[in-house]
Structure 1
Amino acid sequence: MTALELLSAVRGRFSVLLVEEPQQLQLLTTALGTYQDLAGFIKRVKVTERAPLKAPTDFLAPVLCTDKRGDFVPHELDFDAETNAVMIGFDDARSAYPLSFTYLVNLRTIDHNTYQIPATIIGMVQDYLEVLISIPNDERMARIQEAGKLDVSRTPTSDAREGQLAAMREAMKAQRAILPMITIQPF
């Protein structure tokens, strides 16, 4: 599921949606960023060549690099001005290939049209995004109801929604990505 498909699924949860698309996209980025900050998502790539690796487009920060034996492989980041990319170099003199490079994913900068969001985070991000969109939507609904002299007592307040967001942030923290353990072998 892409980010736009996720947003479309959340839109379907509203019978009346008064929040316009630019704000919805901004709130989508906020929801993904909040998940990134509180829980994080880890991805792994295999390195088969003994050459620096161009960082993946969704790269945020390195976590760990191990060789095929599971031993730690030191690595360093370098910015290549010619290609305008982060390059990852490996101290691989004693490493047994292929290497396994693990990194944190930058969910804030993903392409909303094409990037496939991991299935394990979709539910939490959808629920959080729904509440984020509900806050301005409820405020607009309340204004419309007040203008029409209708009962606004059934419309949730922003304080109630903020309480929901706080509970969801705690749930995200409980889903925090667990960093893998490493072994360091003396040679």
Structure 2
Amino acid sequence: MTEHLTLVDHPLVQHKLSLMRERTTSTNSFRRLLREISHLLAYEVTRNLPMTTRTIDTPLCPMDAPVIEGKKLALVSILRAGNGLLDGVLDLVPAARVGFIGLYRDEETLQPVQYYSKLPEHLEDRLVIAVDPMLATGNSSAAAVDLIKAAGATNIRFLCLLAAPEGIARMKEAHPDVPIVTAAVDERLNEQGYIVPGLGDAGDRMFGTK
């Protein structure tokens, strides 16, 4: 894929995503699959982290062992559906600092409305991974990255489960320095701004709400 977009086409990712797309998949199964797939996506989005070495003692001898360099990562969940990806990424990076940005989409204008923001300190020294399952219009995602940058972050990656071409274009226009990692690029948005074929509303399906 392009430098701006990484498509994770691993067979396990694609298989689990297909199960999530099915309308008959239960809330419990959807939530479990999202956590499982987020582990696999986290592997990709954390690729190329800066490394250094630290002297440790194995049972046999000392060695210079590779470890991640720098301050702890920061994960920022775009509420509420972002929490589904957040939990899985935290399984792999449990020491990460965590922030939350609350945005909802005005159903008439499709523009984001902010209602909450709480971010970790020293974002300028951290890799920040913003997580939201759906990159649809891209308006909420771009607004969330605006807030993250305003808090000082300069090294940001965006992790999503599904992306629409319109959302990718919007993010590339607003934040060309923020690479996107996703499991699939779907066909288009419908008139209501939902991804087609998509999987419906990720938050509703994850939390069992309508």
| TM-score (normalised: structure 2) | 0.25
Relative CO higher for 1 or 2, CA cutoff 8 Å, sep ≥ 6?
Answer: 1
By percentage of residues, which structure has more helix?
1
By percentage of residues, which structure has more strand?
2
Larger Rg: 1
